[in-house]
Amino acid sequence: MICEIESNRLGAAPNWLRAIEQQRAAEGREWARQKLEADIQQQANAVPAVCPKRGAPLRKTRWRPMQLQTSVGKVNVQVQCGKSAALHRWVCPAREQWGLAAYQTVSPELQELACFTATKTRSYEDAAVTMKRYGHEVSDDLIHRHVQQSGQACAALVLPMPPVPTNEPEFSLVIMMDAWLVRERGQHWGKKGAPPPDHQRVDWREVKSAVIYRMEQRAETASGRGMLVEKSIVACPPLTAPVDFGASVEAEARRRGLGRAKKVYIVIDGAVWLWDLAKDRFKDAILTLDFHHAAQHLWALAHELHGQGTETARAWVEPLLHQLRHGKEQRVVQSLEQLLTPSEPRSAPSQKAVAREVEYIVNHEDHIHYQARENEGAPMGSGAVESLCRQLQNRFKSCGQFWSRQGLTHLLAINVLFKNQSARFLWN
């Protein structure tokens, strides 16, 4: 047994419980493999030898061996093949019926498992090690290949609209949007010599992301930590235009109930393209500037007026933050507007910096009603989408990762599919 071998190598006594558990698990896998092999063979025997496209009988039929890697091990079966007069090629009706490509040797279940593991580990090598640890002998190259195939298939996948339940209770929809940067291989990646001055071997690209959920589907853990019972995400590959990202967010929001929601809340940071998108796509939505983002601008103003990290700056900004948080946003705006006409002269750069920060808050006067949002049970910050961005960065932004456009796009699509619990629509 594995446990006994490892224990002997280390000079320790074997753990009987672990050893017997491993033995019984292996016996169970072997029983399942044999049963699956028999079931697949029975199904293969029942598939008629006709053209899967036209239904005409095949010519020159013969039985050929087929080995398939499955979630319980390798199975060996015989499948019938023949020449299709209509298609002018050899076909295997059983493979066609099972949804297997011409040379596919991995079952859909194992393919889905491999793709899922690739999204949860830091690399394809780690994914292969993880799968091997649990009894699946799959190489990192094979995992990568199936991620690319499945990710490409995601582009043509059209998810159905869920049925509208009868007597649906009232709900409010929350949409949060943000973006994060990922490293792509530039056009000079792998080329020898110094790149031209205006080009780099590595390009930083923006991945636009969003989280959509129903406000009533929030809960708390026993420790008091907030959580979302159900949510949908959107993550678009680099160079996706804001208008296309907006279309994707709107489509996913409609799957979550946009159009039936009592209210729609959108929480975003200060990026101009996000505000343009929100106002264009969701005209009746209640827009909120992320509180942490607004606080950062007030802190920047405090440091400009009273010095970086000084107690004077802290004493100046904390009352404003308290007022902003507790429904006194108009008072905050009035206080900031008074700064535009200082009693003492400032330097031109300082006055410009102060005017920039004040203008930012004043322009968002309609989007900083944090006490009102809290009274409605709506979020004041964009923590959910920031959490999503961190999760995606853990997979796509590890040290030493430099993505090809295709590799990033396909794995990102697979990741979104699993997070939205929609994988069944691809592998079924």
Per-residue confidence (pLDDT) for residue 104, from 0 to 100: 87
Per-residue confidence (pLDDT) for residue 153, from 0 to 100: 92
Beta bridge partners of 232: 212
> Cβ contacts of residue 20 below 8 Å, gap of 6+?
none
Helix (H) or strand (E) holding 206: strand 202-214
CA torsion 307→309→311→313, rounded to 10°? 50
Coil, helix or strand at residue 327: coil
> Cβ contacts of residue 225 below 8 Å, gap of 6+?
none
- Give me the domains of the chain, ranges plus CATH numbers: 1-105 (no CATH), 173-290+381-427 (3.30.420), 293-366 (no CATH)
Count CB-CB contacts under 10 A for residue 276: 13
Helix (H) or strand (E) holding 211: strand 202-214
Coil, helix or strand at residue 20: helix
Per-residue confidence (pLDDT) for residue 398, from 0 to 100: 87
Per-residue confidence (pLDDT) for residue 10, from 0 to 100: 55
Per-residue exposure over 378-406, b if at least 16 CB sit within 10 Å of its own CB, e if not:
bbbbbbbbbebbeebeebbbeeeeebeee
- DSSP annotation of 123 reads S
Beta bridge partners of 203: 184
> Cβ contacts of residue 304 below 8 Å, gap of 6+?
350, 353, 354, 357
Helix (H) or strand (E) holding 66: strand 59-70
Residues of the chain with pLDDT below 70 are 1-12, 190, 193-199
- DSSP annotation of 110 reads H
Q: For residues 392 and 207, is the Cβ–Cβ distance under 8 A?
A: yes
Per-residue confidence (pLDDT) for residue 166, from 0 to 100: 87
Our CA angle for 247, 380, 265, nearest 5°, is 35
Tokens matching residue 30 = 């072997």
Rounded Cα–Cα distance for residues 152 and 414 (Å): 9
Q: Give just the sign of the alpha carbon dihedral 324, 326, 329, 334.
A: negative
pLDDT (tens digit, 9 = 90+) per residue, 310-333? 999 999 999 999 999 999 999 999
Per-residue confidence (pLDDT) for residue 199, from 0 to 100: 62
Per-residue confidence (pLDDT) for residue 314, from 0 to 100: 95
Per-residue confidence (pLDDT) for residue 27, from 0 to 100: 94
Edge-to-edge strand ranges of the sheet holding 89-91: 59-70, 73-84, 89-91
